[in-house]
Amino acid sequence: MDIEKNIKKLEAILEKMEKETVSIEESMALYTEAVTLLRTTQDRLSEIEQKIINLDDDND
């Protein structure tokens, strides 16, 4: 998973929802996609954080 790519996708979704007239159905689909992207990105960032903590602990 590419964190930067997910962030760009999230930005595009937000921009689309803010600027364009979208149907309720499309808004819901965009919202669902955004939530999924947020969760996977947060999970990946947590994994990275834990690896950093483990590396730091190993160096102590």
Q: pLDDT at position 55, please?
A: 92
**42 domain-assigned:** yes
Domains in the chain, number: 1
| Domain limits for position 51 | 24-60
Q: pLDDT at position 10, please?
A: 97
Q: Which of 3, 14, 8, 4 is nearest to 43 (CA)?
A: 3
Q: pLDDT at position 28, please?
A: 95
Q: Which amino acid is at 57?
A: D
Q: Which of 24, 55, 14, 21 is nearest to 6 (CA)?
A: 14
CB 37 within 8 A of CB 6: yes
**15 domain-assigned:** no
Q: pLDDT at position 3, please?
A: 94
Alpha-carbon gap, residue 3 to 13, rounded angstroms = 15
| pLDDT tens column, 7-55 | 999 999 999 999 878 999 999 999 999 999 999 999 999 999 999 999 9
Q: pLDDT at position 58, please?
A: 82
**56 domain-assigned:** yes
**35 domain-assigned:** yes
